[in-house]
Homo-oligomer: A and B are copies of this chain.
Amino acid sequence: MIVRGLPRVGGVWRRGFSSSATRREIIDIESLPDRIVPRYPESQTSDLLSLQWPSPPRNILIIKKDRAPHVTESLIEYAKHIHSNYDNVSLIFEPKVAAQMHKQFSFPVYTTSSAGALPRKVDMTTTLGGDGTILRAASLFSTTLHVPPVLSFSMGTLGFLGEWKFAEYKRAFREVYMSGAGAGSPLFQDQKHPHVKTMVDETGDIVTGWSSIRGKSMGPTRSSKVLLRNRLKVGVFDAEGHRVIGDNTAESAAGDVHAMNEVVIHRGKEAHLAIIEVFVGGRFLTEAVADGMIIATPTGSTAYSLSAGGNIVHPLVSSLLVTPICPRSLSFRTLVLPANTPITLRLSEKNRGRELEVSIDGRRRSHGISVGMEIRVNGEDIVKGSEWIGGVPCVMRGTISGREDDDGWVGGLNGLLKFNYPFGGDE
């Protein structure tokens, strides 16, 4: 099926697209096979999970940094490499990117005008950009419980979430693609997975799934390591307790939205302080008089919450942070609560008609909240292991080094956040 001029506007999937010549077409993702959901067994040697594909991934979503022309070059190089070496893989782009790029390729690319279709089709996401690009990629799955694994490449300046340097893309993609495909693994037998199509490779040989990839299998113990980043769930409710509908976005209609970093309410362009009631576990905790409030995940503890004075929480500590933004108080300190604590932020009647802004992972919602309205937050329920559910599975960069328990976090504190940077001259 070839899509022409898709009507939908607004949001990420803003731009329609048209297609042209045979090989340079843009195809709707509905024609792709349904996604393959990997398993995430706990690893013996590490606190991270292993990534185990039941069969090789096929539908790869590629998200690139916005308004960054220099990333486009890399995107082309990356896409061509995957197409040449992994024949049964299809590449999915955001509509705007698909429209811009498809002429560069001798093969069809995929997209969709309906963001809701992505969770059904995407096996894996790769991002080319910074932390903001990863957050945007995650936001495409903000209403689903099964986020496909994310392989992120940092372009230019390093980010705190981005794991791989772009120069490593060949090895990185291969590792993730092969992850969990042990020689002895029954999953390795493609005949048991008839949906893996037989193909003819460049040399004319018949290739079936992983066996088509040159080089030794990584073996089941050499699987990619995955850090499952806990998200938080956000619901917005009006003064009568009804979930607010009509945000003109798919998310709120379907229920809670998931955030990877945080949800923020902020006075925005209001000149005056906001008054926010905070409830924890159903109990009134305090009335914050402040510029705003942040409820963050441990992942988000190094983002806005840090700037607002919050402390640093390791992503594997199952918790939520409550951090005020410029509170009119000497005695408000960041709280770290169990992830399953319900937290409610309520706009006090004392605000007298002012509206506050709501942002999720740095993106402002089209509507703010007004007096009496509530933001209800909860940590996402995570079930780990083979039946895992929830979280954003981020592919870590440590497989080869042998330091298998290295989640890169300590390195990030030092290398990126300049944690406890020593005093003294650099002589």
Contact = CB atoms under 8 A, between A and B. Distances in A.
B307 A326 contact: yes
Nearest to A287: B422
A393 to B, nearest CB: 18
A291 B427 CA distance: 26
B419 A286 contact: yes
B283 A332 contact: no
B285 A330 contact: no
A303 B331 CA distance: 15
B410 A418 contact: no
Interface string A239-252: 00000000000000
Contacts of A318: 317-318
Most chain B CB within a 10 A radius of its CB, from A308, A423, A425: A423
A425 B415 contact: yes
B314 A338 contact: yes
Interface stretch (A185-193, A199-207, A213-221, A356-364): A356-364
Contact of A307 (B281, B290, B310, B410): B290
Chain A's interface size range is 35 or more
Most chain B CB within a 10 A radius of its CB, from A310, A317, A324: A317
A309 B309 contact: yes
A417 B330 contact: yes
Interface in A312-340: 312-314, 316-319, 324-338, 340
A268 interface: yes
A75 interface: no
A238 interface: no
A337 B314 contact: yes
Interface string A383-427: 000000000000000000001011000100111111111111111
A282 to B, nearest CB: 7
Interface in A259-308: 268-269, 271-272, 280-291, 298, 301, 304, 306-308
A414 B285 contact: yes
A162 to B, nearest CB: 10
A410 B278 CA distance: 11
Contacts of A332: 330, 419-420
A341 B317 CA distance: 10
B410 A281 contact: yes
A157 interface: yes
A351 interface: no
Given A268-B269, A316-B338, A318-B318, 4 more contacts: A271-B363, A286-B413, A307-B328, A330-B333
Which 6 A-B pairs rank lowest in CB-CB distance, beginning with the nearest?
A158-B425, A330-B331, A307-B326, A311-B334, A331-B331, A311-B311
28 contacts: A158-B425, A269-B269, A269-B364, A281-B410, A282-B405, A283-B410, A286-B420, A287-B420, A289-B423, A298-B336, A307-B328, A310-B311, A311-B334, A311-B336, A312-B336, A314-B335, A326-B326, A329-B421, A330-B332, A331-B331, A331-B417, A332-B419, A332-B420, A335-B413, A415-B425, A418-B422, A418-B423, A421-B421
